[in-house]
Amino acid sequence: MNKKILMEILLYPKTSDAEKDDAVIDLVINFQDDETIDFLINVSNDNCYDEMVVASCGESLAHIWIKNEQINYEKVLVLKGVASAEAISLIQAQRTDWYRDYSKMNQI
């Protein structure tokens, strides 16, 4: 599916939470670029989304960083709530080196 359509699905208020969750997953499967990362961060930090969608955003962001073998700690640090918990949990499980660095930065 087209990236723009997937993003519109997430932004459209009448889309069901299940459809939004599926759109997050489809975005990550097909697009691992900076635009997708920034979009998912914005969605995850927007208070109008269901917790399931926010959690999927956090987990999906971690998948992108792990797949690309590149993490942006500044972007990780702006994640909130369940999105942050999901991202950090996956990073801790799969990239302990990144988790150690994140933990040091987060203590400052």
Q: What is the C-alpha to C-alpha distance for residues 58 and 64, in angstroms, rounded to an integer?
A: 10
Query: pLDDT band for position 39 (50/70/90)?
Result: very high
Closest CA to 79 of 69, 91, 67, 68: 91
Are 40 and 66 within 8 A, CB to CB?
no
At residue 84, does pLDDT exceed 70? yes
Query: pLDDT band for position 107 (50/70/90)?
Result: confident
pLDDT tens profile 16-28: 999 999 999 999 9
Query: pLDDT band for position 106 (50/70/90)?
Result: confident
